[in-house]
Amino acid sequence: MKRLTVHILSFMCALGLLAATEAQDQTSSAPEQGDTQPMADVSAAETNEAATVEQAAPMVPDAIPEQQAPQPPTPVEAPVPPPAKAAANTNPDELRLNFRSAPIELVLNYLSDAAGFIIQLNTPVKGKVDVWSNQPVTREEAVELLNSVLNKNGYAAIRNGRMLTIMSKDDAIHGDIPVKISSRPGSIPKNDEIVTEIIPIRFVEAEQLVKDLSPMTSAHATIIANEAGNSIVVTDTQANIRHPRGNHRRH
């Protein structure tokens, strides 16, 4: 009986120690739970603060796409006035020629603009022109100079009023050219205008005169005898008719 009592007391003591140990364990684990709670509270506070800041931040509009962005107004260019035309030549008989190694077409354009000539090309023209004058020249002098230039390049200018027809010398000889009558060959102008000149003769037969003059005429010239009118008909430049490699005035 006594032993049983001792055993019961021992068991009761053991239960007491076990209960004390459990209480101590619960007491030691309480701070850990306390530490965790504040951290949770801090996290919640930070989340609430971030939400508050996000709500307080001003709303920024989305960037306008580049293709929809307003473009600055395109500057309107002021219309450029056309260049003023050169003053018209008030005196077509005062022409100034200043051409050095210039194309023939440039000279023709100048005569059309400055002198009012109508240029008609019956053949393409090639070649350079070297002609100038420090003093103004008349339209007649300008045409003479033009014929001189054209003659060197195998062309001729046939004038009919304001019309200047440019053609080869071969075509000009047989073309519609001026016909003149001159009883004194010495009065024929010395220029390169192609004409048909009728020259009356007195002291020699026309047929014989043609035979005498034919070797002296230029390659492009024609010369025929008009026995009925006792005259010769020569088609060539006036300078050649006046003095074809010699002088036929002695006839």
pLDDT for the residue 34 = 45
> What DSSP element (H or E) covers 26?
helix 2-56
The token pair that represents 145 in the structure block:
């100079």
Query: Could you give the C-alpha distances from 16 to 5, 19, 58, in angstroms and in order?
Result: 17, 5, 66
pLDDT for the residue 36 = 45
CA distance 43 to 45: 5
Query: Could you give the C-alpha distances from 74 to 77, 92, 170, 179, in angstroms and in order?
Result: 9, 49, 63, 69
Inter-residue contact 206 to 223 (CB < 8 Å) = no
pLDDT for the residue 164 = 93
Equal CATH topology for 98-169 and 177-250:
no
pLDDT for the residue 217 = 84
pLDDT in tens, the chain (251 residues): 556 665 666 667 666 666 666 655 555 554 444 444 444 444 444 545 544 544 544 554 454 555 555 666 665 555 544 443 433 455 666 898 889 999 999 999 999 999 999 999 999 999 998 988 888 999 999 999 999 989 999 999 999 899 999 999 989 988 888 899 988 878 898 899 999 999 998 888 888 889 888 888 888 889 999 988 889 999 999 998 887 654 444 33
- 59-84 pLDDT per residue, tens: 544 545 555 556 666 655 555 444 43
Domain boundaries, the chain: 98-169, 177-250
Inter-residue contact 157 to 138 (CB < 8 Å) = no
- Measured N-to-C along each axis, helices 104-115 and 139-152 cross at an angle, to the nearest 10 degrees, of 170
Can you give the pTM of this predicted structure? 0.55
98-169: CATH, from 3.55.50.30, 3.10.20.90, 3.30.565.10, 3.90.1170.50: 3.55.50.30
CA distance 21 to 27: 10
Q: What is the CATH number of domain 177-250?
A: 3.30.1370.120
